[in-house]
Amino acid sequence: MRLLDPATQPDAIAQAAQRLAQGGLLALPTETVYGLGARADDDAAVARIYAAKGRPPDHPLIVHVADEAAALHFVSTYPAVARRLTDAFWPGPLTVIVPRRAGMATASAGGHDTIGLRCPDHPVALRLLQACADLGVMGVAAPSANRFGRISPTRSAHVADEFAHHGDAQGEGLDEVWVLEGGDCEVGIESTIIDCSRGRPVLLRPGRLTLAEIEAVAGEPVEWSRPEAPDPAAPKASGTLLSHYAPRARLRLMSEEQVIAGLDLIEPELRARAIQEGGQIPPRMAVYSRSLWAYREPCVGLVHRSMPADAVTAAQDLFADLREIDALGVELIWVEQPPDHPAWDGVRDRLTRASAS
């Protein structure tokens, strides 16, 4: 793995753009999560993304563009609602699915006749996309830079965790992954996806932007295809598979009352075991809760983590916190259900999926 850091290497962006232009893989920062990129118009380069991630090849990827003009390169028609949304929210954490121009970025689109497009609001990503455009590369296909089915990376170190051994002697012949440093991702969960290809806008994946914000700009109701009731018409896409974003540990979503009742049951046993074993026992489960640890004593044998109390910060920290908890080797994570408020839709969606595996 090679790290390029624009803060210390003046030619980092140029090198990264060259790498992509030559068909190589590059992990890039965005404001949502890090993406694993390849030039969108090169089917062989895109195939390397699928191989590196272990992702089934009919799952479409999002193509990242420098601006709306570059987006038009990939579309056959640009529906009015897509234009309203991208005018309002680009650059930003919004992906639109629109009809694809025949023959363009076929592998990126997983063979579907639509394409997902996004202009990310991250200074390093935007400089990179502009440098790519200057080399004639109009779009960079990039799914989240994690192995298939795992938690998305929100720090460059997470990308290293996922792909550190690629391109090594032990790397199964896979390409070396280069990583462009862009700091911690500010949004922390993946972009909101709106399918604008079906005549009426459909929310496929909630993100930081709320449904109300999107409907206000769309000027029409936006239907939500929820994970609990998958829309059979939606193309098979990993971001909409129920058991996605899973940590290694089993994750259960519970009400605060359920967490308390469960802890009341198991804590006496944990304390007794700890006394038998000389004071300490390795933690086998974690509790990730918004409010509990403000008033409840931590217990031996349990990992205690606090979920931020506001939705924006909770999204920012979510994947990093789950990775950190997972790395402690616990078998079970009890997560307090987020509030039933639209601002939490994105976080609730990711946790619901993680708990389904």
Smallest distance from Mg ion to CB 21, Å? 24
In the bound state with Mg ion, the residue whose beta carbon lies nearer, of 348 and 353, is 353
CB count, 10 Å around CB of 267? Answer: 17
| Residue written as token pair 């479409």 | 60
In the bound state with ligand TXA, the residue whose beta carbon lies nearer, of 34 and 334, is 34
Nearest residue to 163 via CA among 26, 59, 63: 26
Q: Are 140 and 36 in contact (CB under 8 A)?
A: no
Only one of the segments 19-27, 234-242, 260-268, 307-315 lies at the binding site for ligand TXA (rule: CB under 6 A); that segment is 234-242
Report the residue from 41, 121, 162, 190 that binds ligand TXA according to the rule CB under 6 A: 190
Q: Are 4 and 179 in contact (CB under 8 A)?
A: yes
- The verdict on 60 binding ligand TXA (CB under 6 A) reads yes
Provide the mask over 306-325, with x wherever binding to ligand TXA is found by CB under 6 A and - wherever it is not.
--------------------
- The verdict on 240 binding ligand TXA (CB under 6 A) reads yes
| CA quadruple 221, 224, 225, 229: dihedral sign | negative
| Residue written as token pair 């993304």 | 49
Only one of the segments 9-17, 57-65, 163-171, 222-230 lies at the binding site for ligand TXA (rule: CB under 6 A); that segment is 57-65
Rounded CA-CA distance 81/200 in Å is 9
CA distance to 80, 177, 347, per residue, from 96 (Å): 12, 27, 20
- The verdict on 124 binding ligand TXA (CB under 6 A) reads no
For Mg ion, the binding residues in 126-185 under the rule CB under 5 A are: 144
Tokens representing 180 are: 């462009």
Report the residue from 19, 39, 48, 118 that binds ligand TXA according to the rule CB under 6 A: 118
- The verdict on 154 binding ligand TXA (CB under 6 A) reads no
Tokens representing 120 are: 């990310």
Smallest distance from ligand TXA to CB 93, Å? 6
The site that binds ligand TXA (CB under 6 A) totals a number of residues, namely 29
- The verdict on 86 binding ligand TXA (CB under 6 A) reads no
CB count, 10 Å around CB of 234? Answer: 14
Report the residue from 6, 24, 35, 139 that binds ligand TXA according to the rule CB under 6 A: 35
Q: Say whether 190 sits in a helix, a strand or coil.
A: coil
Binding at 227: pick from Mg ion, ligand TXA, none (beta carbon under 5-8 Å per type): none
Helix residue ranges, H only, the chain = 12-21, 43-53, 68-72, 80-89, 123-134, 156-163, 211-218, 256-276, 292-295, 311-327, 345-355
- The verdict on 116 binding ligand TXA (CB under 6 A) reads yes
Interface residue list for ligand TXA (CB under 6 A) = 30, 32-33, 35, 59-62, 95, 97, 109, 112, 114-116, 118, 120, 142-144, 190-191, 193, 204, 235, 237-240
Interface residue list for Mg ion (CB under 5 A) = 144
